[in-house]
A = this chain, B = another copy of it.
Amino acid sequence: MDAVLPRRQRIKQQNRQFILDAARQVFAEQGYGAATIRDIIRATPLAAGTFYNYFTSKEDVRQALEAEMAAALRPVLSEGRAEAATAEEFLSAFFSAAFALKTGTETAAIDLRAGFEDLRADLESAVARGLFLPLDAGALAAALLAAADEIGNRLAAGRGDPVQATGEATLLFLRGVQPPA
């Protein structure tokens, strides 16, 4: 699908990706605040000055990284949500995808909050279709993502089983905690 790029262009793209990959890893290990540009370069085969040919600051990298992650999260998280016929299908698809992302080794330390806008939109649409009670879509998206992220962290740490957790979380948000009267 990708056009064949001239050698120069290819190297440029590769170097950019070197930096982004290194940044993702460094941010995951130390947190964004504590990470330094030098840390990123060090995790790269490039020289110090080369960084500035691609980005102007740590914040610049972060934004590029966020865009990249949002693009990667979108298809995965949205999959199955748009066409869900019931709230249960919607929630189950969401938690299943979310926990898969959090426990997948290759995407360590993904912050699900990057998918906020997409989820909010999907929820609004689902509310409009009558699948959900008419709640504030923003608050609901925040609650779902925060809960999924936190439970996902627990799963990634080995506390719990993803499949069972998907079921429990779906039930929790589907029917709530109240025992039937």
Which residues of A does B touch, CB under 8 Å?
30-35, 87-88, 91, 130-133, 135-136, 138-140, 142-147, 149-151, 153-154, 159-160, 165, 168-169, 171-179
CA distance A172 to B145 in the complex (A): 14
Of chain B, the residue at the smallest CB distance from A179 is B133
- Whether the pair B150, A143 counts as a contact (CB closer than 8 A) is yes
A31-B32, A35-B33 in contact; A172/B177 too (CB < 8 A)? no
10 more contacts with CB within 8 A, not counting A88-B178, A133-B177, A171-B176, are A32-B34, A87-B177, A87-B179, A136-B160, A139-B160, A142-B150, A142-B154, A143-B172, A146-B151, A172-B176
Residues in B neighbouring A88, C-beta threshold 8 A = 178
A143 neighbours in B (Cβ, 8 Å): 146-147, 150-151, 169, 172
- Give Cα A88–Cα B33 distance, bound, in whole angstroms: 39
Name the B residues within 8 Å of A144 (CB-CB).
147
Provided the pairs A88-B178, A145-B150 are in contact, do residues A172 and B135 lie with their beta carbons within 8 angstroms? yes
CB < 8 Å: which of B34, B140, B153, B177 contacts A177? Answer: B140
- Kindly list chain B residues whose C-beta atoms are within 8 Å of the C-beta of A31: 31-33
